[in-house]
Each structure stands twice: as structure tokens, then as C-alpha cells.
Amino acid sequence: MRIAQVCNVGEICGGTAACAWSITLAFPDVDHTVIFLSPPNSRTVEAFQHCQFHSAKSITDGMIRHLNVDLVILHNSTPNRVAQIRSTPSIQYHHSMGSRTAADVHLACSKWLHQRTPQSTQVLWQPTPIPIQRTDNPSRNAATSLRIGRICTPDDRKWPQSLIPLYERLAESFKNVEWEFIGAPGTLRESLQHACRGNARFITADVSARSRYWSWHALLYHHPTISESFGRTVAESMRCGTVPIVDRKGGFCEQIESGKNGFLCTNPDDFVAAIHQIQDRNHLSQLSQRAQDSSHEKCSLSIFRSRFLRILNQLSLGDSFDA
């Protein structure tokens, strides 16, 4: 079986390329080709070294026919960049709202997005592998203070200046919290460090940085203007037992049962209250275990594989795999 995937951006630290990468891990018995619509950077090349990969400004049906694959998965592909694929069965995987190239099957990465995407016929959560646990990272259990992190695509749009007032409020309320930021652009680091009273640590975004989840007690995510269709970093962190404390909007609301395996917050007071709760280490341990269990049940590679195989049966491709 041969699968080709099309990604808009050659950035493994972005949602769609990370999803494509995870799909290759869910199907190690498949020959994978990945086409990026912008040149992949070095960390992306390293992540996809087990695949064939190409970059192209646009995709035609003839190009796909030349690859001689059995299935094409389009990730947020738009008609002006990717032509409709008629020579090969195709799946359009929607990760956000917008105009998308027609395909044989349309999937949405969350119920929230499905309700806002007329083309999608069913929901399929992204697969999220368990990040590697590195021995050189600080231990979560041995920490004397809480360690709370934020990880996001290294893009100014995902790191607005409007984050600063929340961190000023949190750092004022919790003077002993250690704050970590993965992917924060250089233009924001000084402001974040000042807001966190000098208790901030900054880490470069790459695949290995995900191992920091094992050191964090909680992942905190707030964005005043963006509703995430699916919280990929939320799912990844939960797989490591990190408790998510995030905005009550978008796909987060179907990933988290607030107060049971994480916290959904509507205002700064909610974020403060959530951190107060996890200061109780027994309560934190319970939340951590529930977060890990629920993410395993919903986002593991094996769960994704079984659900994806059922979808392939609609394209008469399911027999090509061992379930």
C-alpha cells in the first residue's frame, strides 16, 4: 500500500505537518510520500526521513498519477494550490475552516470543526504519539514547585502581545511557579520574562522539545482571538500526564472534562482558580492520571488506525491493510 499526503507548510512544529507525520507512524507498514507546498525546513526533513518527500508550489492530478500511489490525503488543501484528484482515491482532512479541494471523503479533526464545515461528513481526531521521555529532563515528581508550560507553532500570530497581562496576573498570584515556553518568538521573550518575574525558560521548537511535557505539571494555553479546531498540544501533553489548563472554546471543549482531566477557562479568574487546585499534589495526581487515560482512549495511534481503516472501507481500500 502506498499513501501520499499533501501539507501546506514544511514545518513539523505546525499542526498539519505534525498530523501527517503521526499518520505515517500509525501506518508503519505503508510506503509514505509527503508533498509540501513550501520547502521543508531542517527539523521537518529530519522528522520525515523515513518517508519520500517532495516540495511543489502546486499539485495537479497528473503529478499524483505519476507517483503511482493508492491513496492521497490532503491536509487543508485549497483549490488554488491543489487540483481535484481524480486518478486516485482521495481524502480531504480539514483542520480549520476555509475553502478546500473536493475529495472522495471529507473528514473534520473535531466535532467543533465538523459543525462549521459543510463538506465534512465525519469526525476523526488526529493521532498523537506519546512523546519520548528523556532522562536528562527535570523530573515532574521531584519538583518542589509547579512547572507550567506553553508550546505552540513558532509563529507571531500564535504568540500575541496580548498574552502578557494574563502571565502578569498569574505570576503575581503564584510567585513560585516555573514557566516554560516552547516556540515563543524572540520579539516576545523579553516581555514574557518580565511578566513572569524572571522565572521563565525559553526552549526552541522542534520535535524533541515535546519531551518537556514529562517535566510539566500543567500546560497552559490562552489565545484571545483564535479558537483552535483541535488541541494537538493538549492531546500530546495529556498523553504524558500533563494537566491542560486552556481556553473554553473550539475543539478543547470536547477534549477536556473540566475539573476531571483538565480545566476549561473563560477568564483570568478561571486560570487562577485552576492553578490553585493543582497546588494540591494529591488532586494533581488524580487529574494527571485521568488526563493520560482519556487521551490514550481517544488519540492513540492504534485508535486512529482502527478508525481510519473503517473510513478506507468506504473507498474499498480497507482490505489492503491488516486491521
Task: Tell me how crowded residue 235 is: count the other CB atoms within 10 A of its CB.
Answer: 22
Q: pLDDT per residue over 276-291, tens digit each? A: 999 999 999 999 999 9
Is residue 71 situated within a structural domain? yes
Residues 204 and 160 in one domain: yes
Is residue 134 situated within a structural domain? no
Instruction: Say if residue 33's pLDDT is above 60.
Output: yes
Please give the pLDDT value at position 163: 96
Model confidence at 323, pLDDT cuts 50, 70, 90, reads: very low
Which CATH number is 41's domain given? 3.40.50.11380
Please state the rounded mean pLDDT for residues 113-139: 93
Residues 286 and 186 in one domain: yes
Residues 10 and 119 in one domain: yes
Q: How many domains does the chain have?
A: 2
Residues 111 and 153 in one domain: no
> In terms of Cα–Cα distance, which of 176, 182, 180 is closest to 193?
180
Residue 208 belongs to domain spanning: 147-299
Is residue 135 situated within a structural domain? no
Residues 63 and 194 in one domain: no
Please state the rounded mean pLDDT for residues 253-265: 97
Please give the pLDDT value at position 143: 85
Residues 261 and 274 in one domain: yes
Please give the pLDDT value at position 80: 96
Which CATH number is 268's domain given? 3.40.50.2000
Please give the pLDDT value at position 314: 84
Ramachandran category for residue 189: left, alpha or beta (phi over 0 → left; psi -120 to 50 → alpha)? alpha
> In terms of Cα–Cα distance, which of 119, 123, 125 is closest to 103?
119
Please give the pLDDT value at position 141: 84
- Mean pLDDT over the full length of the chain: 94
Please give the pLDDT value at position 135: 85
Residues 22 and 162 in one domain: no
- Taking every pair of Cα atoms in the chain, the longest distance, rounded to a whole number of angstroms, is 60
Is residue 136 situated within a structural domain? no
Is residue 133 situated within a structural domain? no
Residues 305 and 279 in one domain: no
Q: pLDDT per residue over 181-195, tens digit each? A: 999 999 999 999 999
Is residue 138 situated within a structural domain? no
Is residue 163 situated within a structural domain? yes
Please state the rounded mean pLDDT for residues 156-174: 96
SS3 for 214?
helix
Beta bridge partners of 53: 34
Task: Tell me how crowded residue 172 is: count the other CB atoms within 10 A of its CB.
Answer: 11
Please state the rounded mean pLDDT for residues 157-173: 96
Is residue 137 situated within a structural domain? no
Q: Return all residues near 76 (Cβ < 8 A) that are at least 6 apart.
A: 8, 16, 93, 94, 95, 96, 98, 100
Query: Which stretches of the chain are assigned E, i.e. beta strand?
Result: 2-7, 31-36, 52-55, 71-75, 90-94, 105-108, 122-123, 147-151, 178-182, 200-203, 218-221, 243-247, 263-265
In degrees and rounded to multiples of 5, residue 107 shows phi and psi of -115, 145
Please give the pLDDT value at position 321: 61
Please state the rounded mean pLDDT for residues 86-92: 96
Residues 207 and 79 in one domain: no
Q: pLDDT per residue over 214-255, tens digit each? A: 999 999 999 999 999 999 999 999 999 999 999 999 999 999
Residues 305 and 261 in one domain: no
Residues 195 and 306 in one domain: no
Find where cell 480545566 sits: 263
**Taking a C-beta distance cutoff of 8 angstroms, is the pair 61, 86 a contact?**
yes
Taking the CA atoms of residue 180, residue 14, residue 19 and residue 140 in that order, the dihedral angle to the nearest 10 degrees is 0
The CA distance from 214 to 290, in Å, is: 15
Residues 89 and 54 in one domain: yes
Please give the pLDDT value at position 82: 97
